Structure 1
Amino acid sequence: MRTTSIRRAAVPGISVLALALTACGPSSTDSGSEGGSGDTSAAASSEDLSGELAIGGASSQESAQNAWIVGFGEVAPDVTVTYDPVGSGGGRENFISGAYPMAGSDSYLTDEEGELADATERCNGEAPIEIPNYVSPIAVIYNLEGVDNLQLSPKTLAGIFAGEITKWNDPAIVKDNPDANLPNETITPVHRSDESGTTENFTDYLDAVAPDVWTAGAVETWPTEFGGEAGKSTSGVVQVVTDAPNTIGYADASQAGGLGQASIKVGEEYVAPSPEAAAQILKVSPRVEEGSDVNMAVDLDHKTTEAGTYPIVLTSYLLACQSYQDQNEADLVKGYISYILSDEGQQIGSEEAGSAPLPDDIRSEATSIVEKISAG
Structure 2
Amino acid sequence: MKIQRHGAVLGLVAASALLLGACGSDNNTAAGGSTPASGTSVPVECGGKPKLNAEGSSAQKNAVDAFVQAYKAACPSADLAYNPSGSGAGVKNFNAGLVDFGGSDSALKDGAETEAAAKRCQTNPAWNLPLVFGPVAIGYKVSGVDSLVLDAKTTAAIFSGAVKKWNDPAIKALNSSAALPDKDIAVIYRSDESGTTDNFQKYLTTAGGWTKGDGKQFKGGVGEGKEKSAGVAQAVGSIDGAITYVEWSFAQDNKLSTAKIDAGSGPVELSAESAGKAIDGAKVKGEGNNLVLDLNSIYGTKAAGAYPLLLATYEIVCSKGYDADTAKAVKAFLTVAASTGQAQLAEAGYVPLPKAFQDKILTAVKAIA
TM range (shorter): 0.7 to 0.9
Deviation at 1:346, TM superposition (A): 2.0
Deviation at 1:216, TM superposition (A): 0.5
Listed one character per residue, the Cα deviations across residues 254-281 of structure 1 (whole Å, up to 9, x for unaligned) are 1112111111113312222234543544
Q: Within 1, Cα distance between the matches of 2:58 and 2:37? A: 31
Which residue is 2:108 aligned to? 109
In the TM superposition, 1:33-48 aligns within 5 A as 34=35, 40-43=41-44, 45-46=45-46
Alpha carbons 2:338, 2:362 under 8 Å: kept: yes
Which residue is 1:76 aligned to? 75
Which residue is 2:226 aligned to? 231
Deviation at 1:239, TM superposition (A): 1.5
Alpha carbons 1:136, 1:274 under 8 Å: kept: no
Listed one character per residue, the Cα deviations across residues 190-235 of structure 1 (whole Å, up to 9, x for unaligned) are 1011111111100111111122xx2211121122x62211111111
Name which of 303, 306, 310 aligns with 1:306: 303
The amino acid across from 2:225 in the alignment is A
Which residue is 1:21 aligned to? none
Distance 1:57 1:233, change over 3 A: same
Tell me the secondary structure at the aligned position of residue 191 of structure 1: strand
Name which of 324, 345, 350 aligns with 1:355: 350
Deviation at 1:121, TM superposition (A): 2.5
Name which of 248, 252, 259 aligns with 2:243: 248
Tell me the secondary structure at the aligned position of residue 136 of structure 1: strand
Which residue is 1:268 aligned to? 265
- Whether 1:318 and 2:322 are equivalent positions in the alignment is no
Tell me the secondary structure at the aligned position of residue 165 of structure 1: coil
Tell me the secondary structure at the aligned position of residue 273 of structure 1: coil
The amino acid across from 1:267 in the alignment is G
Which residue is 2:150 aligned to? 152
Which residue is 2:217 aligned to? 221
Listed one character per residue, the Cα deviations across residues 144-165 of structure 1 (whole Å, up to 9, x for unaligned) are 1122221111111111111111
Tell me the secondary structure at the aligned position of residue 40 of structure 1: coil
In the TM superposition, 1:334-345 aligns within 5 A as 334-342=331-339, 344-345=340-341
Distance 1:87 1:270, change over 3 A: same
Which residue is 1:86 aligned to? 85
Alpha carbons 2:39, 2:341 under 8 Å: kept: no
Alpha carbons 1:42, 1:335 under 8 Å: kept: no
- Whether 1:294 and 2:289 are equivalent positions in the alignment is yes
Alpha carbons 2:122, 2:320 under 8 Å: kept: yes
Distance 1:335 1:276, change over 3 A: farther
Gaps of 5+ in 2: 6-33
Which residue is 2:170 aligned to? 172
Q: Within 1, Cα distance between the matches of 2:323 and 2:346? A: 32
Alpha carbons 2:121, 2:320 under 8 Å: kept: yes
Which has the bigger relative contact order, CA under 8 A and spacing at least 6?
2
Query: TM-score, normalization: structure 1?
Result: 0.83
Name which of 110, 115, 118 aligns with 2:116: 118
Distance 1:368 1:308, change over 3 A: farther
Which residue is 1:18 aligned to? none
Which residue is 1:129 aligned to? 127
Tell me the secondary structure at the aligned position of residue 370 of structure 1: helix
Distance 1:360 1:270, change over 3 A: farther
The amino acid across from 2:35 in the alignment is E
Tell me the secondary structure at the aligned position of residue 250 of structure 1: strand
Name which of 188, 196, 199 aligns with 2:197: 199
Listed one character per residue, the Cα deviations across residues 265-301 of structure 1 (whole Å, up to 9, x for unaligned) are 133122222345435444433345xx53111112212
Residues paired across the two proteins, number: 337
Gaps of 5+ in 1: 13-32
Q: Within 2, Cα distance between the matches of 1:171 and 1:136? A: 32
Distance 1:104 1:36, change over 3 A: closer
Tell me the secondary structure at the aligned position of residue 159 of structure 1: helix
Deviation at 1:133, TM superposition (A): 0.9
Q: Within 1, Cα distance between the matches of 2:62 and 2:76? A: 20
Q: Within 2, Cα distance between the matches of 1:162 and 1:194? A: 18
Q: Within 1, Cα distance between the matches of 2:327 and 2:278? A: 32
Deviation at 1:363, TM superposition (A): 2.1
Listed one character per residue, the Cα deviations across residues 34-53 of structure 1 (whole Å, up to 9, x for unaligned) are 3789951235x44x566001
Alpha carbons 2:36, 2:352 under 8 Å: kept: no
Alpha carbons 1:137, 1:313 under 8 Å: kept: yes
Which residue is 2:18 aligned to? none
Alpha carbons 1:191, 1:228 under 8 Å: kept: yes
Deviation at 1:70, TM superposition (A): 2.1
Alpha carbons 1:57, 1:105 under 8 Å: kept: yes
